[in-house]
Each structure stands twice: as structure tokens, then as C-alpha cells.
Chains A and B, each alone.
Chain A
Amino acid sequence: MSRISDLVRVAAAGLTARKVRTFLILLGPILGVGAIVSAIGINESSKGYLKEQLQELGTDLIVANAQDSLGGFGQNPRIPEDAIGRVARLPDVTSVTGTFQISNIVTLPFEDAENYYRAFPVPVIATGLNLPTTMEVPMVSGRFLNEFDSNNAARVAVIGRDLADEYGYLRGESRTISLNGVNYGIVGVMDWVMLEPSMDSAVFITFPTAENDWEIENQDPSRLYVRAPTNTQQVSEEIPTVVSLGGPDGARTSVPTDLLDAESQVDESLNNLTKLMGGLALVVGGVGIANVMSISVIQRASEIGIRRALGHTRSTIGIQFLFEALVVGILGGALGALAGSGVVWLTAWMRGYVMVLSIPELIGWGSVSVAVAVIAGLYPSLKAARLEPLETLRLG
């Protein structure tokens, strides 16, 4: 142990004694590791906001749209109401909600706005009572539709957050909105739905209310939202069969985050090219280390000679130089990783990216730097160990 601490001390003294030379040796690994870390980091960070969004949304929501027997979407295709229960019983499904968008309703916050809202109609959606659970969206104020509203076909509605802002709805305010002249009491405002932005400007009512007031014929939904945290893809493939059971009613499924996920994938070929270039920079850095250290061995021949005369063995001399290379590799790798991270941070800050840095990647490239430095230090170390003290001391 004391031998190792002696070696570390001697190596550190050797490096700190010649600061400019040490700095020049360090430049290789610093530039190599710095280039790789910054290039990969910037590439990853440019997709960082998508990754962050994906993290927030999750990738386990499935949307199933009704499809008629001909494979198209035909005239108002619907999903049988009992299919909701069947889908809910699938092992990986945690929540299912059916919705049906009612057409030809003019929704008004107040009567004078009729012309505007006739031109830009607000969607009115009949929904199951667990929509916030399935969409994993909280309420901004009030409550969502409940069993009481459903059992009594009550004329109450929940509105999306954007619509609440548009109507100037105040939290907790007692207020009605008019659906084709029929007043509904607003009981709550639902927060933004990232995966279904159209819901942010929608009005939600219960299926029984919709059936009573708007002649939607039955309570069959036209769309299912299904949350399946595990085996999402498999569930997505099972749903059409579970819905149709071989009958004419079908469904076509999609996972809304799939596209986002594909977009968020970094360009692997660009990353590989970056790694190759950075690797080359490290190899060049390694050649630099070997070169400068070889010159250093010649310059320090007298020091090597006197150390040998004082009883230091060939292997001790060799290991002393190898330790210097090791310290260069560790320092260069650490400083390179730090410099690369700084460049990524600066770029992310200037361009508004979400900074993405992989710690295992930093450690990995730091280790490569150490390995390159040690391999590069092998030749000068052997050269130092092989020096004959008699030749270097120039006696008498």
C-alpha cells in the first residue's frame, strides 16, 4: 500500500513539476472526451423536450375508434356498450372509458355569442364517469360527472380548461351554459389533456343525459380510451377482437404516443458517426501522450539514472511512468467529461433544449480515456524501465 502511495506521490510530483507539458498531454483526452460527450449530449438534448413530454404522457394509452363491418368508418359506427366491460376485463387493462361526440349542438356561454359559436362549434361529448382516471388528468376545479348525475340524467356538464378560459369561467362559480338553448349547470373544469387536445375545448355530459336530451339512440360509444400500463401493444392488438367477437361491430386501435416516441428517437447513425470521430480524437490524443511522454523519458534520463542508482528497480521506474499516464487519463477524462457537459448545458440553454446527459455514458467515455492513456503510456514506460543507469549518469 505504501509502495502504491509512494508511486502516486512520485507520479503527481512528476506531472506538477512540468505544468505546460502536462497540460499539453492532457489536451488529447480532454478534447477527445469533450467532443464525444458534447456531440452526443447536444444530439440527445435536441430531442429532450419530446422525451420529457413522453415521460409525462406515458406510452400506455390506447384509443379504439369504432369501425363498421366494411372496414371503413361508414355512417356513425358505434362500439357496443357491453364491449367496454369486455375490454376492462383484459388482464393488462387498468381503466376503460367510452365516449361519443354529439353533433349539431350549438354551445353558448351567453346568447349574444350565437353567431360566433355557430361558425366554430364546441364539441359536446357523452362520456363514461371515469374519463379523468383513464386520461390521468386532474380537475382544475369542482368535480367530474358522477353516479348521481348519470342515474338522474342530470343537466350538468364538465368543461375543458381552454373552454373555461374562453368563457371566462371562474373557479367555483355557479354558472350555466346553453346547449341548443337547454341550460346545463357547470360542475367542474377538467385540466388539459395532453394526448387529446380537442378535449380542452369540449363540454362533457353523461350518456343517460345525452340519450334523454339529444336522441343519440343508445348509450353505445364511438370511441374507447383504454389504459394498459403493461403489454400495451398486445392489448392494442386484442381490442378489435374483444370488441367485435366475430360480429359486424369492429374497432381500429392506435397508441397516440407511438408517433411521438418515434420522433423522440435520436439519430443513431449520427450518434455512431460522432462516437467514431470522438474515438479517433482519443486515439490521436493517445498518440500525443505516447509522443510527449517518450520525449519526457529522454529529458528525464538523468532522473531515471539517479533513481536506479538509489535502488529503484526497473519495474518501479516503469510503473512510475505508467502511473503518470494513468493520472493523465483520469484527469483528462474527468475534465473532458466536465467540458463536454458544459458545452451541452450552454447549447441547451441557448437553444431552449431540455438538457439530456447520460451519467453511464460520461463514466464510459472517461474510462475509455483512461484506457487510451495507459495503453499510450506503455511504450514510454517500457523505454524508461529499459534505460541503463550507466548510460544516463555519464560517469567520470
Chain B
Amino acid sequence: MVERESLLSLEEVTRTYGSDVKVHALREVSLNILSGDFMSIIGPSGSGKSTMLGLLGLLDVPTSGRVTVKDVESTGLDDVERSRLRGQTIGFVFQQFHLIPHLTALGNVETALLYRGLSVAERRRRAFESLEKLGLSERSDHRPVQLSGGEQQRVAIARAIVTDPLVVLADEPTGALDSENAENIMEIFAGLKSPERAVCLVTHDMEIADATDRRVSMKDGAIVEDFVMEKL
């Protein structure tokens, strides 16, 4: 059996907001995301899952504790180093898609490859390949407004994987979709699983969580359950 390595880990991470009145969004949380994981973080509103996503995605820094990406401790990094690490290792998918409205599908995917010293032709080739994987090659020159919700989310997934990240973090990825599109998107996420990569979905929907192989449940800023589904 291939040994799975740690891609992203939180060690006793605490995140508080406010100076006079402190609000503990996360309390000494530890989590280890391993290569090959297809997991979900589930919890009700206010449970701290969005704070967790921000910290896992290096969009935020913890008040205390350590966030490590592969072997790199990110807490002490400056903005340039942390941004670079984020761009190289993590791909994001959001509930509201967050596509740039004035760019085409191809342009949106290409944005993830900017400022990396790639030629325009190389960037376009990779972006097109990524769209092709998601079955959107014929929609590459369409703007977000010309695409359906499901198509927009597929463009967002193409943008997330075009950099070949170690971890794909998705925030309520089916929250803005109808059930048919949601099912399709979940199939795509399941297809992103690979021995080198981890896919982590943040959701409040138990049905989505049940579709993953590992379920991390949160409540009041703490992990209350880390459950690995038994495979048949």
C-alpha cells in the first residue's frame, strides 16, 4: 500500500477576532489532510468551517498554532511568500463561482497562470486543456454571463486545477446549483481524486458530505468528529 503524505495540516490552531471582546472562531484545532483524501468539512452556520477554510487556504493567518503546507510552515511567511505558496499548492472553488465578469472562460482560467513567467501561448494552451477536461472547450470564448450556473462552476473548477494544485478547497460548491447540476459537479469532484492530490469540500449539506470518503464535523470552533467512511 502506498504511504500517503501530509499535504496540509493545522496544528493546535486558534483563531480569534476582535481586540476588546474576543470571539474564538477556532479553538486549538488540529487537522491533517493527506494525499488522496476526498473529504468534507461539515458543520452548521457559525461552527468555524469558513474560518477553517480561510486558514487552510492561506487566506488568513492563525492567532496561534501552525499551518503547514507539505513541509513548509506558512505562519511566518510574508505576503509575497504566502501568496506564492498559495498559488502553487492550493486551488479554490467558491459557492458564487467568483468568475471575473469581463473575461471569457478561457481568460478566467488563464488568470490563475499569470505572473508565472509563462508565455501567452503556453498559458492559453494549458487553460484550454483544463477547460477541455471539464467538457467546456466549445464554451472557452464565452463570458460568465453567457454560461449557465453549472457551466460557470465547471469553469471555476478548471481554474482551480489548471495550476495542478496539491489541494483543491471548495466552499459550498453546489450551494448555488440545482440538484442535477449539483450531482454533476459532485461527480467532477470525485473525478479529481488522485493519489497525489487532496480534495476538500466545505459544506453544511450532509448529502454532499456523505458522498466524500472522509467527513470532518465541526461545532463551536472545534472538530467534533473526523470520520473515514468504510469502503465496500
Contact = CB atoms under 8 A, between A and B. Distances in A.
B59 A310 contact: no
B59 A390 contact: yes
A312 B112 CA distance: 9
Given A6-B115, A307-B111, A309-B59, A315 B50 contact: no
Contacts of B80: 313, 315
Given A390-B54, A395-B171, 10 more contacts: A2-B119, A3-B115, A6-B114, A311-B86, A311-B88, A312-B83, A393-B94, A395-B202, A396-B172, A396-B204
A17 B102 contact: yes
Contact of B79 (A303, A314, A396): A314
B171 A312 contact: no
A308 interface: yes
B215 interface: no
Interface string B115-127: 1011110000000
Contacts of B171: 395-396
Interface in A293-329: 302-303, 305-316
A297 to B, nearest CB: 15
B231 interface: no
Interface string B95-114: 11011111100010001101
A10 B114 CA distance: 9
B172 A13 contact: no
A248 B45 CA distance: 114
Contacts of A314: 79, 83
Contacts of B107: 13
A394 B97 CA distance: 11
25 contacts: A6-B114, A6-B115, A9-B120, A13-B102, A17-B103, A302-B98, A303-B101, A306-B94, A306-B99, A310-B111, A310-B159, A311-B83, A311-B87, A312-B114, A312-B115, A313-B84, A314-B79, A316-B83, A390-B59, A393-B59, A393-B94, A393-B98, A394-B96, A395-B94, A396-B172
A309 B102 contact: no
B54 A395 contact: yes
B156 to A, nearest CB: 9
Contacts of B118: 2
A351 interface: no
Interface in A216-275: none
A10 B79 CA distance: 21
A81 to B, nearest CB: 84
B96 A396 contact: no
A14 interface: yes
A137 B50 CA distance: 91
A51 to B, nearest CB: 50
Contacts of B38: none
A312 B103 CA distance: 17
A121 interface: no
B132 interface: no
A396 B49 contact: yes
A393 B60 CA distance: 12
B128 interface: no
A302 B119 CA distance: 26
B25 to A, nearest CB: 11
Interface in A99-122: none
Q: Which 7 A-B pairs have the closest CB atoms?
A: A311-B87, A17-B102, A396-B50, A395-B50, A313-B83, A306-B98, A310-B112
Given A395-B53, A396-B172, A312 B87 contact: yes
Nearest to B117: A2
Nearest to A396: B50
Nearest to B88: A311
A185 B60 CA distance: 105
A394 B98 CA distance: 10
Contacts of B112: 310-311
Nearest to A394: B96
A60 to B, nearest CB: 61
A132 interface: no
Contacts of B120: 9
A315 B78 CA distance: 12
Contact of B92 (A18, A309, A394, A396): A309
A395 B94 CA distance: 7
A193 to B, nearest CB: 67
Contacts of B103: 13, 17
B221 interface: no
A102 B104 CA distance: 91
Nearest to A10: B114
B102 A316 contact: no
A316 B111 CA distance: 13
Contacts of A9: 120
Contacts of A306: 92, 94, 98-100, 111
A393 B54 CA distance: 10
B102 A18 contact: yes
B36 interface: no
A298 to B, nearest CB: 15
Contacts of A389: 59
